[in-house]
Amino acid sequence: MGLLVLALLVALAPVYWMVTISLKTEIDQFARPPKWFTFTPTLEHYYDAFVTRSFSEYLLTSAIVAVVSTACALVIGTLAAYALTRFRLPYNLDRKLSLWILSTRMFPAIVTAVPLFLMMRDLRLVNTKAALIIVYTGFNLPFVVWMMRGFFAEVPRDLEEAALVDGDSRLGALVRVVLPLVTPGLAATAVFCLIVCWNEFLFALVLTQTDAAMTLPVGIAGRVTQYEIKWGVMSAAGAVAMVPILVFALAMQKYLVRGLSLGAVKG
C-alpha cells in the first residue's frame, strides 16, 4: 500500500510543481530552498501567455486540428476496419492489408517528415491547419483500424444477418446494429487519437511557420530564449495544455483500459 502511495506521489509531484511555477512570481520561482507550498499566487503568467502572447490562438489551432483529424480518421478507419473484419477477400488480402496498415504505425516520424514537408510545400499547404489535419489523419488511421478491428471481431455476425433478413442493407446494418454496440470502443479510440494529435510535436514543428498555424506544443517549446527561459509562461501554457486531456482521459478511464486490453490481448 505504501508503495502505491509513493508511486502516486512520484507521478503527481512534478505536475504539481509545474502548476506552482505557473502561479509564482519570478523571484519565488527561483527561491532557495524551493517553495512547495508557501507562496502568494499570481495570474500574471496566464495573462502573459493567453492575452499578451498568442497562446489562445495555439490552443484553438490544437483543438481544431485534433478534433477534425480524429473525426476523419475515425470515419475512414472504422469503415476499413469493418470491411477487413467481416469480409473475406481473395488471396488472403484482408489479412495482408491489415498487417500492412499496422506496420505503418511503426514508422519513426522523422522518416516521413521531410517528404511530407516537401509534399505540403508543393501543395502550397505549408503553415496551414489543413496540412496538420491531413498528416495527423494519416497518423491515427492505422491505430483506428487496429483498435476497431478488435472491437468488431467481438460482435457476432448473427445480429447483422438478422437485420439483413429484415430488409436492411449491409451498410445500414453496420450503422444501426453494430456501431451502437462498439460505441465504447469508438470512444476509447477517439480519446486516444485526440491525445496523440494534441501532444504531437515534430510535424507541427516542421510544418508550421507562423502563429496562425502553430499548435500548443510548438508554442510552448518556443519560449526558450538565449538569455532566459520564460518558465512562467511555459508552465502556464503547459498547465492549460494538460487540462483537456486529463479531463477526457479520466472520464474515459474504464473504456481506455478495455480498449487497451482488447487491442493488447487479442493483438
**Residue with the three cell numbers 499548435:** 215
Work out whether 162 is an interface residue with another protein (CB under 8 A): no
- Taking the C-alpha atoms of residue 21 and residue 34, their distance in angstroms, rounded to an integer, is 11
Work out whether 42 is an interface residue with another protein (CB under 8 A): no
- Smaller CB separation from another protein, 43 or 117: 117
Work out whether 37 is an interface residue with another protein (CB under 8 A): no
Nearest distance from residue 14's CB to another protein, in Å?
5
| Residue 124 falls in which region: left (phi positive, over 0), alpha (psi -120 to 50) or beta | left
Residues 3 to 22 in contact with another protein, rule: CB under 8 A: 3-4, 7-8, 10-12, 14-15, 17-18, 21
Work out whether 206 is an interface residue with another protein (CB under 8 A): yes
| Residue 84 falls in which region: left (phi positive, over 0), alpha (psi -120 to 50) or beta | alpha
Which stretch of DSSP H or E encloses residue 85? Answer: helix 55-86
- Smaller CB separation from another protein, 16 or 43: 16
Work out whether 236 is an interface residue with another protein (CB under 8 A): no
- Smaller CB separation from another protein, 43 or 253: 253
Work out whether 141 is an interface residue with another protein (CB under 8 A): yes
Work out whether 189 is an interface residue with another protein (CB under 8 A): no
SS3 string of 214-262?
CCHHHHHHCCECCCCECHHHHHHHHHHHHHHHHHHHHHCHHHHHHHHHH
Work out whether 115 is an interface residue with another protein (CB under 8 A): yes
- Smaller CB separation from another protein, 43 or 154: 154
For residues 51 to 90, the per-residue mask of contacts with another protein, x marking binding by CB under 8 A and - elsewhere, is -------------x--xx--xx-xxxx-xx-xxxxxxxx-
Work out whether 39 is an interface residue with another protein (CB under 8 A): no
- Smaller CB separation from another protein, 23 or 68: 68
- Taking the C-alpha atoms of residue 47 and residue 40, their distance in angstroms, rounded to an integer, is 16
Distance separating the N- and C-terminal Cα atoms of the chain: 32
Number of chain positions touching another protein (CB under 8 A): 127
Q: Which residues contact 98 (CB under 8 A, 6 or more apart)?
A: 84, 145, 149
Nearest distance from residue 43's CB to another protein, in Å?
19
- Taking the C-alpha atoms of residue 52 and residue 47, their distance in angstroms, rounded to an integer, is 7
- Taking the C-alpha atoms of residue 261 and residue 247, their distance in angstroms, rounded to an integer, is 21
Q: Return the residue of 43, 47, 51, 121 that touches another protein, per CB under 8 A.
A: 121
Given a contact cutoff of 8 angstroms between Cβ atoms, the answer to whether 163 and 172 are in contact is: yes
Nearest distance from residue 42's CB to another protein, in Å?
14
Work out whether 176 is an interface residue with another protein (CB under 8 A): yes
Nearest distance from residue 93's CB to another protein, in Å?
9
Work out whether 264 is an interface residue with another protein (CB under 8 A): yes
Q: Exposure of 54 by Cβ count < 10 A (0-12 exposed, 13-18 middle, 19+ buried)?
A: middle
